[in-house]
Amino acid sequence: MAGLLAPSGAAHARLLGLGAYRPSRVVPNSEIVDAIDSSDEWIRTRSGITERRWATPEETVQVMSVAAARDALADAGVDAHQIDCVIVATVSHLSQTPAIATTIAHELGTEQAAAFDISAACAGFCHGVAMASDLIRGGSAGHVLVIGVERLSDITDRADRGTAFIFADGAGAVVVGPSDEPGIGPVVWGSDGERADLITQREMWPEALARGEMPHLTMQGNPVFRWASFAMAKIGLEALDRAGVTVDELDCFVPHQANMRIVDALARSMKLPEHVRIARDIADMGNTSAASIPLALERMKREGEAKSGDTALFIAFGAGLTYAAQVVIVP
Ligand code: COA
């Protein structure tokens, strides 16, 4: 038997740069309430959302991803040639194959980086960060670009009361690279396929297309709300524990922006101290699924709520059901 050389990588990995793309079209609650027999007040009270962004036809998944990625590369001071792997987390790239990661890698000018998409819904970005960290530490890549991007407006039924006011569009990206110190804690992740029907495509593509429609998302809001508010707090605390960080040592909490009430419930259940800054990007961005955590962190940095070197907790959860949480050092 030949003696293979074992792969070996960097001692640690960390986030080196962060980027975001917010679509240009602002959609206030007033624009959507008639179609779902709702009101601005109901939407604000139940979800904390006042407006969201829906992409224009020109703001494609590719366009938004490349813009966010260029931002992240510039922020990291890393050239596209240094990227060995591009991971795109999305559920709203509407072509089955090829993965959109390959054309994004090409447009950015990487040297034929490995490129693939992952489908883990709203938890996709945190899955990507975990994989990037392991790829770097395992020696499979030097620098990895992780993008979370969605155009959920394409697959949201504007007349569906349970989803029309929640889902939105945008892109966020991070560059992950080698580090002397730990910058990404152990991931706590998992799935619960028994409850796959709680958030799902309403029907398969052929059935929807036969009716001249897109295969829209459907969600049982109440059980999702309860699951996210209670079960995910335990996952967050486990991620802190595994990273050796206490709630008192935490600077920022950046949960998936699903619903403002879930954000508040998680912070309460985890007994986060007053000093922990909490991401609240959902108020004017809606739920952008895989894009929500990098978008929320980008805003916190821009507005001075998070700074480079801070310790932040990510918790993401969504269709599948899927979830992932990790502690990171803010780039
Ligand atoms: N506008 C106005 N009224 C609405 C409505 C809407 N869009 N949707 C439902 N209602 C009404 C219902 O008819 C019901 O009325 P009733 O009490 O007279 O029967 C009432 O509001 C409560 O409905 P319910 O479905 O129990 O609402 P809720 O409090 O669970 O809030 C969500 C709905 C969607 C805001 C909430 O369940 C939620 O946020 N879930 C999680 C969503 C989420 O995070 N998804 C992403 C996970 S990645």
What digits encode the pLDDT tens for the residues 153-166?
999 999 999 999 99
Separation CA 8–CA 173 (nearest Å): 26
Q: From ligand 1's centre to the CA of 123, what distance in Å? A: 22
Q: Atom of ligand 1 at shortest distance to CA of 163?
A: 34
Q: Quick one: which of 230, 232, 250 has its CA closest to 240?
A: 250
Say whether both 136 and 214 belong to one domain.
Answer: no
- Pairing label, strands 217-219, 199-201: antiparallel
Q: Which of 179, 202, 226 is the last residue of a domain?
A: 179
Q: What is the pLDDT of residue 1?
A: 81
Radius of gyration of the chain (CA): 19
Q: From ligand 1's centre to the CA of 162, what distance in Å? A: 6
C-beta of residue 35 within 8 angstroms of C-beta of residue 158: yes
Q: Atom of ligand 1 at shortest distance to CA of 224?
A: 41
Interior/surface letters 247-277, b for 16+ CB within 10 angstroms, e for the rest? beebbbbbbbbbbbebbebbbebbebeeebb
**What's 38's DSSP letter?**
-
Separation CA 260–CA 284 (nearest Å): 11
pLDDT digits (tens, 9 = 90+) for 214-258: 899 999 999 999 999 989 999 999 999 999 999 999 999 999 999
Site to substitute for ligand 1 among 259, 263, 289, most atoms within 8 A of C-beta: 259
pLDDT digits (tens, 9 = 90+) for 123-157: 999 999 999 999 999 999 999 999 999 999 999 99
Instruction: Report the pocket of ligand 1 as residue ranges, CB < 6 Å.
Output: 36, 38, 42, 46-47, 122, 161-162, 165-166, 199, 219, 221-222, 224-225, 228, 258-259, 262, 287, 318
Q: Which of 138, 161, 179 is the last residue of a domain?
A: 179
| 5 located within any domain | no
Say whether both 35 and 157 belong to one domain.
Answer: yes
Domains in the chain, number:
2
Q: Atom of ligand 1 at shortest distance to CA of 261?
A: 39
The SS3 call for residue 90 is: coil
Say whether both 197 and 109 belong to one domain.
Answer: no
pTM: 0.96
Which residues span the domain enclosing 85? 12-179
Separation CA 235–CA 322 (nearest Å): 12
| 3 located within any domain | no
Preceding peptide of 294 cis, ω within 30°: no
Separation CA 321–CA 331 (nearest Å): 29
Token pair recorded at residue 223: 């059980």
Which residue's C-alpha comes closest to atom 36 of ligand 1? 221
Q: Hey, which residues are catalytic here?
A: 122, 256, 287
Q: Quick one: which of 249, 223, 226, 224 has its CA closest to 313?
A: 249
